[in-house]
């Protein structure tokens, strides 16, 4: 009797597709839906893990857009402290799709946030990107001016990009209840005051996230009709949950929801691809070897594994490989990855301080 | 007698020229000026307590200018570093592209926070040969360490239409001076103080009475060399005397906290 599984390739079977490659994965875990050419203008955004993707792609010689570059005199370390050079613009971590939607609509003049200027001691910060000015700004109208400049840059970014790589990070978010404005962190974490804010917790559902992405895509296509998307899901577990669930249960629900949305979008839309970084790090084949002892931070070898698959699938080479076309990079990939991990900018880590 | 070492690039030359004529009036100090032009000082390497030329070219320059290609830091009770790319020019360059909120409409097109502006200036100072040399010195020398910046360009620069003056960005200097000069100069000094403090060094700003029109150096300090008519950067023996008098002050005030910046 014929079986529908009879002539399937090895990648379709757990033993041949997974077990033999553990703790790594076979290259064919990912088949790119469309190629990334070096000439493409690539924009990156998303949660902490997205920082790795931009960093690696830069090293391949890909044109990772940066519409808000740091001053030339500024060292990399200080630049990162001010949110320069982490993503394609200084929007900080965009954990939820709703945040991305807000940003796209705001830079198109279709959305006005509310209660977004927070205090930080005597200073003021942009609550929609609270990490980018660690010392804060002197006056609220200065925050407004900085945001206007940022929005103009973001609109320019989306109009120039051929590809947006977006890493979905969280389903949980804090929302200004009367207006619906979503923030990347709760007031009181990096600035602002939770007690006096009108923020409420919200855990986005599959349908909400799906609809948000469809709306985001539509808004972006209005700016740039040829833009394409690669979605990933961050394998980094939640630092804390505001639900009633155990943090592990909340993490799995969050990741499963995001993964399901990404899969659905990729299956339905020709211009949306899904890259399985989540599976590569979080899957049972990894046996936890890609996590640091805190079982949360992704180790350099995990990032290297993920990016090796990504680059190979797109015909790109890391600078460590012998590619005459690639720009010279003196620092070994693993070293860079480790150094990068050490400096990863992630507000979620701050939550740990509140857990003590 | 307090032995003082003054290290620097071409901007220390004026002190070297001035000191022989001043020595008699400052019997309490023994000043040694050790320097070389271009990057030779930035390429010095540590060999025990000795700073030694890092390349054959540097060695040749040091021998030619200072008589030897090395200097032993352990001989000195006070060390001062002069010039070596610690320059207001970095602030002017930054301001030509980025403007802090307090600058209003002046400055470059990109708005930048005051904090980021300050930190960028600190980074620029820290990356100068002067501060990198301080880092090396601090490995072997724990005594008083003073840092004096490259003198600001001469005030005649703005009136110049000569080629070399334009090459160093007359337009940028002019725009910065007219729109936000005193504030920019204050920001530069604050950044230098912080960058020097990271090495346990004291920043010593250019004496105010040598300045004119905000932050330019008074033309009376202009170094007149027929071969370098367009030199708006290097100072004459009178300015060198100011540097030497500062060195004497270092010895007099030591080890009290100093507020030169």
Phi, psi of A63 (to 5 degrees): -90, 85
In contact, A302 and A288? CB cutoff 8 Å: no
- The span from the first CA to the last CA of chain A, in angstroms, equals 61
Contact A137/B at CB under 8 A: yes
| CA pair distance A9, A17, nearest whole angstrom | 9
Phi, psi of B16 (to 5 degrees): -65, -35
pLDDT for the residue A325: 36
B168 touches chain A (CB under 8 A): no
Which pLDDT tens digit goes with each residue over A316-343?
Answer: 877 654 333 333 332 233 333 333 333 4
Query: In the prediction, which pLDDT does A184 show?
Result: 94
Per-residue pLDDT tens for A231-272? 999 999 999 999 999 999 999 999 999 999 999 999 999 999
Give the minimum alpha-carbon distance from B83 to chain A in angstroms, rounded to a whole number.
18
What are the residue ranges in chain B where pLDDT is below 50? 255-258
Which of B115, B117, B132 should one mutate to test binding to chain A, selecting the residue with the greatest count of A CBs within 10 A?
B115
Size of interface A-B (CB pairs under 8 A): 58
Q: Tell me the chain B residues in contact with residue A138 when contact means C-beta distances shorter than 8 Å.
A: 101-102, 114
Using the beta-carbon criterion (under 8 Å), do B115 and A149 form an inter-chain contact? no
At residue A337, the pLDDT reads: 34
Confidence at residue A332, expressed as pLDDT on a 0 to 100 scale: 32
pLDDT digits (tens, 9 = 90+) for A149-198: 999 999 999 999 999 999 999 999 999 999 999 999 988 887 788 777 88
Q: Could B101 and A78 be called an inter-chain contact, meaning their C-beta atoms sit closer than 8 Å?
A: no
Q: Strand, coil or helix: what is B207?
A: coil
pLDDT surpassing 90 at residue A86: yes
Pairing of strands B145-148, B202-203: parallel
Q: What is the pLDDT of residue B139?
A: 95
Domain extents in chain A: 32-354
**pLDDT, chain A, mean:** 88
Instruction: Report the CATH superfamily, name and number, of domain B2-86+126-152+189-253.
Output: Response regulator (3.40.50.2300)
Collapsing DSSP to helix, strand or coil, B131 comes out as: helix
Contact between A287 and A48 under an 8 Å Cβ cutoff? The reply is no
Give yes or no for B190 touching A (CB within 8 A).
no
Residues facing B212 on adjacent strands: B216
pLDDT of residue B108: 86
Over range A35-40, report the average pLDDT: 89
Q: What is the per-residue pLDDT for B220? A: 92
Does the pLDDT at position A48 exceed 90? no
- Sort out which chain A residues have CB atoms less than 8 A from B124's CB and list them: 73
């Amino acid at each position: 009797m014929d079986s529908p599984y009879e002539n399937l390739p090895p990648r379709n079977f757990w033993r041949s597709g997974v077990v033999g490659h553990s703790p790594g994965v076979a290259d064919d875990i990912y088949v790119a839906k469309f190629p990334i050419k070096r000439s493409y203008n690539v924009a990156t955004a998303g949660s902490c893990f997205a920082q790795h993707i931009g960093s690696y792609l830069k090293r391949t010689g890909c044109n990772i857009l940066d519409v808000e570059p740091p001053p030339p005199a500024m060292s990399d370390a200080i630049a990162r402290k001010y949110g320069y050079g982490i993503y394609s613009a200084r929007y900080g971590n965009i954990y939820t799709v709703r945040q991305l939607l807000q940003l796209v609509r705001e830079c198109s003049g279709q959305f006005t946030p509310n209660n977004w200027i927070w205090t930080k001691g005597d200073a003021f910060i942009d609550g929609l990107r609270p990490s980018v000015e660690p010392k804060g700004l002197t006056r609220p109208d200065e925050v407004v001016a900085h945001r206007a400049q940022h929005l103009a840059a973001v609109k320019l970014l989306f109009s120039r990009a051929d590809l947006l790589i977006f890493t979905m990070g969280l389903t949980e978010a804090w929302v200004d209840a009367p207006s619906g404005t979503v923030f990347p962190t709760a007031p009181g974490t990096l600035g602002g005051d939770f007690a006096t804010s009108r923020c409420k917790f919200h855990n986005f559902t599959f349908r909400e996230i799906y609809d948000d992405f469809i709306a985001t895509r539509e808004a972006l296509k209005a700016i740039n009709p040829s833009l394409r998307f690669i979605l990933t899901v961050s394998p980094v577990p939640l630092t804390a949950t505001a639900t009633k669930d155990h943090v592990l249960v909340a993490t799995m629900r969050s990741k499963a929801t995001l993964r399901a949305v990404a899969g659905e979008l990729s299956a339905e839309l020709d211009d949306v691809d899904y890259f399985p970084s989540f599976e590569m790090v979080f899957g049972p084949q990894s046996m936890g070897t890609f996590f640091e002892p805190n079982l949360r931070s992704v180790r350099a070898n995990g990032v290297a594994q993920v990016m090796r698959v990504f680059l190979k699938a797109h015909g790109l080479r890391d600078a460590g490989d012998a590619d005459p076309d690639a720009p010279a990079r003196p620092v070994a990939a693993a070293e860079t990855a480790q150094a990068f991990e050490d400096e990863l900018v992630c507000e979620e880590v701050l939550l740990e301080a509140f857990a003590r | 007698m307090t032995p003082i070492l003054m290290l620097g690039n071409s901007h220390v030359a004026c002190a070297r020229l001035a000191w022989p004529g001043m020595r008699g009036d400052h019997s309490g100090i023994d000043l040694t000026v050790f320097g070389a032009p271009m990057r030779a000082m930035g390429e010095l390497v540590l060999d025990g307590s000795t700073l030694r030329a890092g390349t054959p070219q540097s060695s040749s320059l040091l021998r030619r200018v200072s008589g030897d290609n090395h200097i032993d830091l352990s001989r000195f009770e006070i060390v001062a570093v002069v010039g070596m790319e610690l320059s207001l020019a970095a602030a002017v360059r930054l301001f030509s592209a980025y403007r802090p909120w307090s600058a209003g409409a002046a400055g470059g097109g990109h708005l930048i926070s005051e904090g980021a502006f300050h930190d960028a200036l600190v980074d620029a100072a820290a990356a100068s040969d002067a501060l990198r040399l301080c880092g090396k010195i601090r490995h072997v020398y724990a005594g008083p360490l003073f840092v004096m910046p490259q003198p600001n360009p001469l005030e005649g620069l703005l009136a110049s239409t000569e080629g070399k003056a334009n090459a160093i960005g007359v337009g940028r200097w002019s725009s910065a001076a007219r729109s936000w000069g005193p504030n920019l100069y204050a920001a530069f000094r604050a950044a230098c103080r912080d960058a020097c403090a990271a090495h346990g060094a004291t920043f010593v700003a250019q004496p105010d009475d040598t300045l004119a029109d905000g932050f330019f150096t008074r033309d009376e300090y202009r170094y007149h060399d027929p071969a370098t008519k367009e030199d708006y950067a290097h100072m004459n023996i009178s300015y060198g005397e100011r540097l030497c008098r500062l060195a004497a002050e270092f010895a007099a005030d030591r080890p009290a906290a100093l507020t030169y910046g």
